[in-house]
Amino acid sequence: MIYHSKTKHPHYPILCPIRNDKRIVGWWIHDPPNTIFTLPNPKRLSVKGWIQFGICCTMLLPCSFIPCFLSFNYEGYQYPVYEDDL
C-alpha cells in the first residue's frame, strides 16, 4: 500500500538521498506487501531475501527464483516529496 504522509515513518529506510536545496513537504510511504506472494522486484528485495536467493542458487538452481516472489522478503520504505514535485 502506498500513501502520502506529512511525517516521516520512524522505522522505514529512506531510499533516495535527501537534497539540501529543496524543501520537504511530505513523504511517500510504501508499506510491505500484505499477501503471501508478490511481483518480484530485485531493487527492493531485503537482505534476508538475497540470502535465501543465494542459498537456493547453491542448493537447487531451478528453484532460486522462489524467494523473489515471497512477500515477507520485502520491507517497507519511504522517499521524500519536495515542494517542486507537487
pLDDT tens-place string over residues 29-73: 988 888 999 999 888 899 999 999 999 999 988 888 999 999 999
Chain centre to alpha carbon of residue 86: 23
**54 Cβ neighbours under 8 A, 6+ residues apart:** none
Q: Over 90: is that where the pLDDT of 10 sits?
A: no
The grid coordinates of residue 81 equal: 516529496
Q: Over 70: is that where the pLDDT of 85 sits?
A: no
